[in-house]
A and B are shown apart, each in its own frame.
Chain A
Amino acid sequence: MVVTCASCQTKGRLTIPGEQQNGTHAIEVSHLKKVYDDLIAVNDISFVVKKGEIFAFLGPNGAGKTTTVEMIESIRTPTAGAIKLLGIDTKTGFNQIKERISILPQEFHSFERFTVRETLIYFSKLYKKRADIDEILDAMDLQSHEKKLYRNLSGGLKQRVGVALSLVNDPDIVFLDEPTTGLDPKARREVWQVIANLRNKGKTVFLTTHYMEEAEHLADHIAIIHKGKIIAEGSLQELLNKYGEKTTLYIKNCHSEEARQLLVDKGFEVHSSGNGDLTVKIDYKEKVLEVLSELRHEAIEYDGLDIRGSNLEEVFLRLTGARLMEEVEP
């Protein structure tokens, strides 16, 4: 709110407590930096996370993901920069927002000799606002395991309990740091379903991961971090459009020069291979229908079609010159 001083007529902005909490940003990170001796772990990064979205923070091991998320969670102290959660500066007001956030740390293991239910009850009792434990157990499909000791659970179940723990205070923002690392594909997909359900409940999810398919599957918005800097940011489609290769349509065993010329005339980039296949580069997958329509219209025959789209892996490769999983901790 802009106000004017009655005596000197100076204009200024008056911030009313809680005003910014009604904004659209759950997380605001501005010029964040973390330096260890001569290593710059996080180098002047800025981004915002909208309320209610799943924000994937994607990068290889050692890129600065966990350092960044732990600074946002106030576990580490930034060297420079500012962080706001739900409009509140974490440097001065972190205690105010503890009730409204929840985290699943990387490689989290809870108390070994607590049962699943006891674990949830223990953490829920730390908060004033508490979600219903039975509902959480139900949502996480943990009812049949509630009496098992945590140490006796499989890796997948432990991660599910970890995510369940992040719901005990019915938070507005959930931070999940590598929630599926080390899980088998089945367990990973189970956790994905749980995370997707969080979005359905209106929660903001900050997800750090080094799995491309995880970000592709879940994220509304993706930021790619590499060597401490954000090198690309946007929705999946935006990233693919901006940094990805064009979609390639393979028209198999089509020996028609007429077809090639037709598509060239329509503005497509077309290449012929020696075995009679045509490869057509297209900007959007929707253009595939246009190509097929033209071929059908001219009654051009072919044996089959194959469409290969771009993906985040290609985006990352293009941006960094390295594959995501090749990266290692510095």
Chain B
Amino acid sequence: MNLRIVGIDFLFSVRSWFRSRGTVFWSLLFPVMLILLFGAIFSGMGDSTYTLYVQDLDNTDMSQSFIEILNSTGILNIKNVTTNENITDYIKENNIKNLIVIPQGYESDVTRSYVDLTTHVNLTYYFDPSEQQTNQVLRSVISSVLQGLNMQLSQGRTVVGLNEQSTVTENFGFIDFFIPGMIGFTIMQQSIYGSIERNTKFRKDGILRKLLTTPITRSEWILAKMLFMLFLAFISTSVAIGVGVLAFGIKVNINLLTITIIIATSFLFSGIGMIIGRFVKEEETADMAAGAISFPMMFLAGTFFAVESMPTIIQIIAHVLPLYYVNEGLRNAMIYMNQSEALLNTGIVLVFAAIFFIVGVLLTKWKED
């Protein structure tokens, strides 16, 4: 083995790699981003709080004391709901995921339990069954607080209990949460990578130069490709829904909002792909750039895990990511039938789509400099 040649090859490889600043940037930044993001999500780094709404119908010293105990855990972000609110309507209108109700007579029942050992009082905990991870944490916190309280009140006998009630009329599971997320994610991947291939590989291969001298216009080409992307989007949506229905028995509602979100999502992420393809000319680097954008977005935008279960800073980030509104919109339109929320999500996705697609089209050019 000629080690001199091996050494020369190694040095030239390093030099070649170093000259591609884009590759260096994405090679280094991408893993760093992932390490930081996933570290923040799964290592408890940062401010890991969960929002819990509380309606105190008793409004006594004892009920306030219970709320203070919940607050003192440092995990819960307590938000009070006024006593005049109809709790069912409130949950529906505000898309509340977790809420606890302290019933009227709480203090008196607890006081009576000192003399009447059969007396007990139940709090009602409303939860969104699709957000299993959040529920798990909240249940654990509330149970611990109640256990400590019961130990203090009656040496362990259950004086204060917990009734659980779903926030939705139907019992949704994780698969109901997951399928719309996967649809959004799949369309995102197809659109970004398809767009990048058209704008980097086809440019490198001379196909765009060839097309420039043929009668087809840039607008026609983009339109044709968007139709193809929509075709792929509907195919993948159908497959995902088909699997969900046949294998897991989920109930899906295909309506105008669902279709609108799917179309807008294709345009949105194709636009992002065009923008990437405009600034990152090399195909390999562009793929890495797409990965650096789409991969973290997949986790941060609530594709697999509920955004509410993530640290506050991540939740703030999620709310500026277009995929978050795609996922939420699809869930509300297809599964939860929360049409007012779905309409809002659809509007936001449409605005994102218009901005990114128009910018993408304006930046995409076939002519060489």
Contacts and interface: CB of A to CB of B under 8 A. Distances in A.
Tell me whether A and B are bound partners: yes
Interface stretch (B2-10, B207-215, B284-292, B303-311): B207-215
B367 A75 contact: yes
Nearest to B215: A98
A75 B212 contact: yes
Contact of B213 (A36, A98, A110, A128): A98
Contacts of A101: 213
A31 interface: no
A73 interface: yes
Nearest to A102: B213
A109 to B, nearest CB: 4
Interface string B216-231: 1000000000000000
Contacts, number: 57
B368 to A, nearest CB: 5
Contacts of A76: 367-369
A103 B368 contact: no
Contacts of A128: 215
- Taking each of B209, B210, B215, which has the highest tally of chain A beta carbons within 10 Å of its own beta carbon? B210
A283 B213 CA distance: 45
A95 B215 CA distance: 7
A104 B214 CA distance: 11
A118 interface: no
A313 B207 CA distance: 33
Given A70-B368, A75-B368, A77-B367, A105 B209 contact: yes
Contact of A75 (B207, B213, B215, B216): B213
Contact of A110 (B207, B209, B367): B207
For the side of the interface on B, what is the size category?
10 to 19
A24 interface: no
A214 interface: no
Contacts of B213: 73-75, 98, 101-103
B205 A109 contact: yes
- Taking each of B212, B214, B216, B368, which has the highest tally of chain A beta carbons within 10 Å of its own beta carbon? B214
Contact of B212 (A74, A108, A110, A169): A74
A128 B206 CA distance: 22
Interface residues of A, number: 27
Given A75-B367, A76-B368, A76-B369, A126 B214 contact: yes
B207 A127 contact: no
A139 B369 CA distance: 36
A128 B368 CA distance: 26
A111 interface: yes
A108 to B, nearest CB: 4
A295 B206 CA distance: 59
A106 interface: yes
Interface in B145-177: none
A322 B366 CA distance: 36
Interface string A195-220: 00000000000000000000000000
Nearest to B206: A105
B201 to A, nearest CB: 9
A117 B216 CA distance: 20
Contacts of A70: 209, 368
Nearest to A108: B206
A123 B214 contact: yes
A57 to B, nearest CB: 17
Contacts of A233: none
- Taking each of A104, A105, A128, A165, which has the highest tally of chain B beta carbons within 10 Å of its own beta carbon? A105
Contacts of A103: 209-210, 213
A291 to B, nearest CB: 51
A107 interface: yes
A190 interface: no
Interface in A98-134: 98-99, 101-111, 123, 126-128
Interface in A27-66: 36
A102 B210 CA distance: 8
A70 B368 CA distance: 9
A107 B366 CA distance: 16
A126 B205 contact: no
Contacts of A109: 205-207
Nearest to B368: A76
Contact of A98 (B206, B209, B214, B369): B214
Interface string B327-369: 0000000000000000000000000000000000000001111
10 contacts: A73-B212, A74-B213, A76-B367, A77-B367, A101-B213, A108-B207, A110-B207, A111-B207, A123-B214, A127-B214
Sorted nearest first, the 6 A-B pairs with minimum C-beta distance are A105-B206, A109-B205, A108-B206, A105-B209, A126-B214, A103-B213
Interface of A: 36, 70, 73-77, 95, 98-99, 101-111, 123, 126-128, 165, 169
